[in-house]
Structure 1
Amino acid sequence: MQTADRLTRAEGIQKVPSPKLDLFIRKGFIGPDECAGLIALIDAERRPSTIADDGGDALFRTSETCDLDSRHPAVAALEEKIAAFTGLDPRLGEPVQGQRYGEGQEFKAHTDYFEPNGADFLRYCAVSGQRTWTVMIYLNEPTAGGATRFKTIGKTIQPETGKLLAWNNLKPDGSVNANTLHHGMKVRSGTKYIVTKWYRERPWG
């Protein structure tokens, strides 16, 4: 079964009604205790986030990042839960990444796929291919701000502890889908934590 079909049938799922992309929301995907444990791991190892191409804007992505170790029991449990829910092959998954957004930090409008004609396309995609699905989970709720806005469909999703978002970065023909453009909006008060797992066309490594 294709991932989009599987998610459409999943318990508690909401499919965003747009013909432009496959975007799904599942509230309460993981519990508060699981979220707290992952936040602690992020805080222990976070570093300034980077981006393949910031277009010359040093403030394009101002968050902090942590690569989570799949050998840690909490991370391994999360990986298993995501795979069981989505049906995505774990071999295609990149390592889970955690992000922390402090007050005033954001990730401006971007896509998760690598531009096919971009200077670094072969560097990032030669082995494992293009990114296909993104699975993102909010670990907490900042006091204000920090929503995720999908600009081309006018959909803004508010952070809620344990809420999962999943979307396909590609069109049915396998080409990249520019309608997945999204903005990790500025945190106006408090702190936002998320985890993200990206999947590829071929096994990761």
Structure 2
Amino acid sequence: MRDYEVQPQHVTPEVQAWVRAQAALGHTAPTILKALRKAGWLADVAREVLAATLQTPSGVPVPRPAIGAALRLDAGDRQVDVLMQMSQPHIVVFGNLLSDEECDALMQAARPRLSRSLTVAVKTGGEELNDDRTSRGMFFTRGENELVNRIEARIARLLDWPLENGEGLQVLQYLPGAEYKPHHDYFDPAEPGTASILARGGQRVGTLILYLGEPEAGGATVFPDIGLEVMPQRGHAVFFSYDQPHASTLTLHGGAPVLAGEKWVATKWLREREFT
């Protein structure tokens, strides 16, 4: 059998011109990415093509932990493992960010305050029920108690992002069948309610999902545009950032349906400025 040399793939002006033409025709970034993959482009190169072509540098700083080649990061009161990272989109999977005792304490404190989860009402800037999101949840105010304050300080140190730029910690419970269909966490500038949302601290620029309770099956955090699934292991977390409110950031994500047991997570959204 003859061995064939794999030819390197590079971002060229020709493929960038093709990407721009597809975008001009109204095709979305995920659709263009799928077309590139179908044409034989490697996943990481296809993502690089989109990033280099569609993303306009925003100049907006985003949380980006200084990992380098480190296996662990100092989060102040705890050493946190770095289990996986990728650059485009910027995603990091952390291990042992929370202890078992902290996971239990957050769930116990949250349970009496749970109600059907809401989503941001982009038309008005308020909140609304959404069939795409079937979890139950609640919000802690920032620094509400010693436990929340300790975890928020750890997150701020780990992600190198000001504590005051974080929204309140949200705890969610997913029972069997519950899910959150793929969505973006940034606020769409084209929606009429966005201006009032941004007045409280600017755009969201990063998301940290902490896993508090493992389901028996299902419940992965999925990134459909890049074919990534992060399994909900207790005490671990997945982080991703996005420097502009655009699908080309490839941060479309969702919570796959829980097939058995319960999944508990805590979500921390990070803003450009102080969140009030």
Query: TM-score by structure 2 length?
Result: 0.67
Q: Is 1:193 the counterpart of 2:253 in the alignment?
A: no
Does the 8 A contact of 1:20 with 1:153 survive in 2? no
Instruction: Give 1:16's aligned amino acid.
Output: Q
State the structure with more CA Rg: 2
Q: Partner of 2:134 in structure 1?
A: 62
Instruction: Give 2:157's aligned amino acid.
Output: A
Distance 2:226 2:183 in 1: 14
Of stretches 47-56 and 78-87 in structure 1, the one that deviates more from structure 2 is 47-56
Q: Partner of 2:252 in structure 1?
A: 181
Instruction: Give 2:137's aligned amino acid.
Output: T
Does the 8 A contact of 1:52 with 1:120 survive in 2? no
Does the 8 A contact of 1:7 with 1:24 survive in 2? no
Distance 2:63 2:129 in 1: 35
**Shift in Å at residue 169 of structure 1?**
2.3
**Shift in Å at residue 110 of structure 1?**
0.5
Q: Is 1:52 the counterpart of 2:125 in the alignment?
A: no
Of stretches 117-126 and 174-183 in structure 1, the one that deviates more from structure 2 is 174-183
The answer to which structure, 1 or 2, has the higher relative contact order (CA under 8 A, 6+ apart) is 1
Distance 1:42 1:62 in 2: 17
Deviations 1:111-167 (A, max 9, x none): 111111122211211231100111110001101111000111100011100001111
Does the 8 A contact of 2:165 with 2:273 survive in 1? yes
Aligned partner (choices 164, 179, 192) of residue 119 of structure 1: 192
Q: Is 1:16 the counterpart of 2:85 in the alignment?
A: yes
Q: Partner of 1:35 in structure 2?
A: 103
Unaligned ranges ≥5, structure 2: 1-60, 73-80
Deviations 1:86-115 (A, max 9, x none): 111011111111111111100000011111
Query: TM-score by structure 1 length?
Result: 0.89
Does the 8 A contact of 2:169 with 2:268 survive in 1? yes
**Shift in Å at residue 20 of structure 1?**
2.9
Q: Partner of 1:202 in structure 2?
A: 273
Aligned structure 1 segments of 4 or more residues deviating by more than 4 angstroms: 53-58
Superposition RMSD in Å: 2.3
Q: What is the number of equivalent residue pairs in this alignment?
A: 201
Change (3 A) 1:41 1:61: same
Does the 8 A contact of 1:133 with 1:169 survive in 2? yes
SS in 2 for 1:4: coil
Distance 2:154 2:130 in 1: 35
Deviations 1:149-194 (A, max 9, x none): 0111100011100001111022xxx453541000101011111110
Q: Partner of 2:26 in structure 1?
A: none
Unaligned ranges ≥5, structure 1: none
Change (3 A) 1:54 1:146: farther
**Identical counterparts, % of pairs:** 27
| Mapping of residues 138-157 of structure 1, within 5 Å | 138-157=211-230
